[in-house]
Amino acid sequence: MSAARALSLVVERELRLSFRRPDQLLQPLVFFLIVTTLFPLGLNLQLSLLKDMAPGVLWTAALLASLLSLESLFKGDADDGTLEQLALSGHSLTLIVIGKTAAHWLLSGAALVLASPLVAIALGIPDTAFGTMFASLALGTMTLSWLGSIGAALTVGLKRGNVLLSLIVLPLAMPMLIFGAGATDRAIAGTSPAGALYFLGSLCVFTCTLAPFAASAALRITLE
Amino acid sequence: MNTAADGLGVEGVHVWRGDRHVLKAVSLHIKPREVLHISGRNGSGKTTLLKVASGLLRPEQGRVTWLGRAISDVRSDYQRALAYASHEPALKGDLTALENLRFMVGLKRRASAAELTGCLQRTGVAGCADLPVRVLSAGQRRRVAMARVLGVRALLWLLDEPFTNLDAGGSETFAALIAEHVSEGGMAVVVAHHELVLPAEARRLELPG
């Protein structure tokens, strides 16, 4: 049994499970759309001012939305004994974590990236900045999923771990917010966002190489 | 210390859970064609012992060996030779019985849908193959979990209270499956707190509690 086949099996299982629960699948997306529409309504801003705030609003909402579904990343499997089976499957737990986290990103981060043009139009972000917005959101949400996998693994044994999970993950997500919103900001202003995007890319590579090991170590402790 | 070079060996294992000394110098050996029935009162550490044997829980003292080597050295070989059925059936309610089997067995070996349906048939739940597991009864879930153990085709079975929620017919079916597995050269460690319909030659290990 090759590692690649096991990985695809884990991803397929996660996707299939999620599509059986469309309500949970749509929650982060609807949250993202509603929060970002609340800002223009509540602030009664001029369009020019709104455009200045738009990257920050977009990014904060995206981070919170993808945080919503993080708690369930390992919790269901830990509660019903599936995690034990996965840990004894003959594959490294790190591989399983990679598969589950990748599936989580496809269902939360990638979905947010696809929905972001709607929000961008509502916030008055010019379509010349869409490319940068897509790239920065994709890298940022991916980094958040990797970071979140550590938080989710650490809090998997707790009854109400959601608040603690946010407290662990959000401070670590601040660099992504700064550089992600910064990149979008620059693209709106018409200057090159390359520096910020490179930084986001390096964060993503950094977390995706280390987080699976940390998360699987945390899960192993939970299993004892 | 004698090592079971042809099976599973647990040697002088001590486990502490917080302040409680759950396992005190417990040893067990099991070779092919053997059934070991672990019994003991509630809280005597039966499940803990099974977790130690599976490698999920590392003992504070003592060692667990597979074919004479520490399981931490042969982890993936050991896990491939192992089918562990925990007290929870470890099934996803939103997936059908067959899908559950496909994913969990699929991680260990390639198995066709027909073969997995055959496993469900042997445990008596072939009719539930395409039903989501959440609509099944506790006993039917137990049977699906047992079908997973069959599907994995492992040498060593570690079963934690497999007879829970089963009707009389189910208990007999499971006992027959265990006997068949053992007669084909397999090994089974069965945790159960009550008397069983296990084969007569099953060895007993009673945990003091």
**Domain regions of chain A by residue span:** 3-223
Q: What is the pLDDT of residue B1?
A: 46
Instruction: Report yes or no: A152 and A165 within 8 Å, Cβ to Cβ.
Output: yes
Mark yes or no for CB contact A87/B56 under 8 Å.
yes
By C-alpha distance, the chain B residue nearest A5 is B107
Q: What is the pLDDT of residue A45?
A: 64
Q: Above 80 in pLDDT, residue A47?
A: no
Mark yes or no for CB contact A88/B79 under 8 Å.
yes
pLDDT, tens digit (0-9, with 9 covering 90-100), for A180-219? 999 999 999 999 999 999 999 999 999 999 999 999 999 9
CA distance B99 to chain A (A): 9
pLDDT band per the 50, 70, 90 thresholds, residue A147 = very high
Mark yes or no for CB contact A90/B108 under 8 Å.
yes
- The verdict on B117 touching A (C-beta cutoff 8 Å) is no
As a whole number, mean pLDDT of residues A83-101 equals 94
B54 closest CB neighbour out of A10, A81, A88: A88
Please report residues of B whose CB lies closer than 8 A to that of A223: 56-57
Rg of chain A, C-alpha, whole Å: 18
pLDDT, tens digit (0-9, with 9 covering 90-100), for B24-61? 999 999 999 999 999 888 888 999 999 999 999 999 99
| Chain A interface disruption, residue of B79, B103, B157, most A CBs within 10 A | B103
Strands B203-207 and B187-191: what pairing?
unpaired
Mark yes or no for CB contact A80/B109 under 8 Å.
no
Task: Note the ipTM here.
Answer: 0.92
Separation between Cα atoms, residue A25 and residue A110, nearest integer Å: 12
Q: Above 90 in pLDDT, residue A7?
A: yes
Q: Which two tokens stand for residue A28?
A: 């982060």
What is the residue-averaged pLDDT of chain A? 91
**Residue B78 in 3-state DSSP?**
helix
As a whole number, mean pLDDT of residues A9-29 equals 92
Q: What's this model's pTM, rounded to 2 decimal places?
A: 0.92
**What stretch of H or E contains B77?**
helix B75-80
- The verdict on B57 touching A (C-beta cutoff 8 Å) is yes
Q: What is the pLDDT of residue B40?
A: 86
Separation between Cα atoms, residue B178 and residue B198, nearest integer Å: 8
DSSP character string of B2-65: ---TTSEEEEEEEEEETTEEEEEEEEEEE-TTEEEEEEESTTSSHHHHHHHHHTSS--SEEEEE
Mark yes or no for CB contact B92/A90 under 8 Å.
no
Separation between Cα atoms, residue B108 and residue B176, nearest integer Å: 24
Q: Above 70 in pLDDT, residue A117?
A: yes
Instruction: Report yes or no: B3 and B11 within 8 Å, Cβ to Cβ.
Output: yes
Mark yes or no for CB contact A90/B57 under 8 Å.
no
- Residues of chain B falling short of pLDDT 70: 1-4, 194-200, 209
As a whole number, mean pLDDT of residues A49-55 equals 84
A85 closest CB neighbour out of B55, B95, B104: B104
Q: What is the pLDDT of residue B205?
A: 84
A224 closest CB neighbour out of B56, B103, B110: B56
- The verdict on B104 touching A (C-beta cutoff 8 Å) is yes
CA distances from A59 to A64, A150, B36 (A): 9, 21, 58
Please state the domain extents for chain B: 90-153
- The verdict on B84 touching A (C-beta cutoff 8 Å) is yes
A17 closest CB neighbour out of B58, B82, B94: B94
Mark yes or no for CB contact B107/A86 under 8 Å.
yes
